[in-house]
């Protein structure tokens, strides 16, 4: 069972709109931030699976990054995404961090859902 809904911030879409207004972000930047985050997540998880860290990846995808290994992967992934948003979009760190706090759980839930659908089919 996927418990990621517990980690998705409540009212995430209104919060994204507030962040967009506060950070003076254009819609193109928001779209790019979403795609950069998703690409980084997929690339990072693929790399971790290739390294043999399947159990930790599974814990993060299930929405239970409470173990030390799961927390480490989640924080490492978050830092990677923040770095990429800063470098590729030129965002300030506080704005990149706010985007990641909102986007990362949503994207992890989407990735987990896609994997679950593929496994069931």
Asked if 95 contacts 19 with a C-beta cutoff of 8 angstroms, the reply is: yes
What separation in angstroms does the CA of 47 have from each of 1, 13, 71, 78? 24, 30, 17, 15
Assign 82 a pLDDT band (cuts: 50, 70, 90): very high
pLDDT of residue 2: 44
pTM of the model: 0.73
Q: How far is CA 33 from CA 52, 64, 65, 103, 114, in A?
A: 28, 24, 23, 9, 20
* Highest mean pLDDT, choosing among 49-58, 66-75, 77-86: 77-86
DSSP-assigned letter for residue 5 = G
- Per-position DSSP letters for 46-71, written without gaps between them: HHHHHTT-HHHHHHHHTT-TTSHHHH
Q: Determine the straight-line distance between the first and last CA of the chain, rounded to whole angstroms.
A: 17
pLDDT given at position 70:
72
């Amino acid at each position: 069972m996927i418990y990621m809904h517990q980690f998705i911030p409540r009212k995430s879409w209104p919060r994204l709109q507030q962040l967009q207004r506060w950070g003076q972000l254009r819609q193109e930047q928001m779209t790019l931030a979403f795609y950069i985050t998703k690409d980084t997540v997929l690339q990072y998880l693929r790399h971790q699976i290739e390294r043999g860290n399947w159990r930790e990846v599974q814990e993060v995808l299930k929405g239970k990054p409470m173990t030390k290994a799961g927390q480490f992967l989640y924080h490492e992934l978050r830092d990677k995404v923040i770095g990429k948003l800063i470098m590729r979009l030129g965002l300030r760190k506080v704005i990149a961090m706010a985007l990641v706090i909102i986007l990362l759980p949503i994207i992890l839930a989407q990735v987990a859902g896609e994997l679950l659908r593929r496994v069931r089919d």
